[in-house]
Amino acid sequence: MTPPDDERARIGFVLARGRALHRYGTPAHRLEEALGQVARQLGLSAEVLSTPTFLTVRFGDPAELRTSMMRVDTSQLDLGKLARLDAIADAVTEREIDPAAGLARIAAIEASRPAWGKPFELLSSVLTPAGVAVFFGGGLRDVGAAAAIGLVIGVLALVTRARTHAARAFELVGAFVAAFGAGGLAAALGGVHPSIVTVAALIALLPGLTLTTAMTELATRNLVSGTARLMAALIVLLELALGVALGERLAETLFEIAPAVAAPLPAWSVWPAFAVSAAGMMIVCQAERRAVGWILVAALTGFVGARWGAEVLGSQLGVLVGAFALGVLANLYARALDRPQQVVLVPAMILLVPGSLGFRGVSSLVDRDTLNGVETTFAMFVVAMAIVAGLLIANAVVSPRRVM
């Protein structure tokens, strides 16, 4: 039985919203709740199941179900478009526009250009590694080397993005370029720490956010999506470790790399590095420009909270304090401005996620340093769960009053 035109338009809007939310990086627990809420407000009965690559929505009463199954493209984090999609959903559910008009606006958003274009993406590929190199104790030469290699990887990302087969090998090739480039610059310039430069240059490729999202989904009992996302993060870590191992071996074969003398920057350099890294992460997430001030405040809150927590609880559990403070601020933002908390939460949270720990743990396992590898990998999971715990406690203390 074919549904009436009005019902078809409402169903079409729910499906289009679900596909778009999935594409722009919404976790399973938030996506399922958001779609269910919109469906109820539009007078529909719906059950939603989301996985990292598949979205299933069932409409209707049990006696007459209509099921839509969609294979969804790989997520691309775009918080600007995510916020605009949320505003359209509010307009449709509040009857300001009809579902057909909402569908047209969703299509327009998907076809629009991102908030930050390719020049800014290349800039972020320079800024973020440079800032992260300072956090890892690098000197000026390490910062310069990380920025240079980050730029090369950024260009490589733009080149491979439109080519499906090339994009699938991007993490492996990018890791090789980072490790080989770090070794080459260490041999040519001296005073460069290849390990610091390699991790800093790869910071945008590390699946720390994916890992934390997976742990959040598992904690909220979205077991299918959480398990699939967790395995995806581990596969990326293995690809990066393999690429780095190949790059290091080739660099050691071709170049004579002298040990670098540690020359870290002054303690105050952490703050400029934080500002630079936060700016880079905003571009990576395609955050809205009008939310830049809020994002910087949120990132600073999480960063300071994590540093204070590390002094009190230790480096692994201390991040819980930063995540809690960040979650409270993001929820207050959502309540005050009636906008998605993810707009400020995600860019700030990326600075806390344990991607580098996972990379180092897997690299140690590849190098057959089993004890150190297992210890570091376990620390990665502890940090990820500490972040999840902090965010869950923040939601319990201060509700955002919003699904998104």
Judge if 102 and 136 occupy the same domain: no
Residue 57: how many CA atoms within 13 Å on its side-chain side?
29
pLDDT at 358: 59
Q: Same domain, yes or no, for 167 and 240?
A: yes
Residue 79 and residue 153 share a domain: no
- Residue 70's DSSP bridge partners are 55
At 147 the pLDDT is 95
The residue out of 284, 304, 322 marking a domain boundary is 284
Mark whether 271 and 205 lie in a shared domain: yes
Q: Are residues 85 and 207 in the same domain?
A: no
DSSP bridge pairs for 71: 54
Same domain for 134 and 87: no
Q: Are residues 148 and 91 in the same domain?
A: no
Are residue 98 and residue 203 in the same domain, yes or no?
A: no
pLDDT, average across residues 159-179: 86
Domains of the chain: total: 3
Which pLDDT score is estimated for 1?
47
Query: Does 203 share its domain with 250?
Result: yes
Is the pLDDT reported for residue 356 higher than 90?
A: no
Residues 194 and 239 reside in one and the same domain: yes
How many Å from the N-terminal Cα to the C-terminal Cα in the chain?
34
Note the pLDDT of residue 355: 61
Task: Grade residue 365 by pLDDT with cuts at 50, 70 and 90.
Answer: low
Mean pLDDT of the chain: 87
Domain with 78, as residue range(s), is: 5-111
**Percentage of the chain modeled with pLDDT above 70:** 92
Residue scoring higher pLDDT (120 or 163): 120
Instruction: Find the mean pLDDT for residues 333-357.
Output: 84
321 and 386, same domain (yes or no): yes
Provide CB contacts within 8 A for 50, sequence distance 6+: 18, 22, 28, 31, 32, 56, 222, 225
| pLDDT (average), residues 132-142 | 89
**27-47 pLDDT, tens digit each:** 888 899 989 999 999 998 888
- pLDDT tens for 240-295 read 989 999 999 999 999 888 776 767 788 889 999 999 999 999 999 999 888 999 99
User: What's this model's pTM, rounded to 2 decimal places?
Assistant: 0.88
pLDDT at 180: 95
Q: Tell which wins on pLDDT, 321 or 374.
A: 321
Residue 369 exposure: Cα atoms within 13 Å on the Cβ side: 11
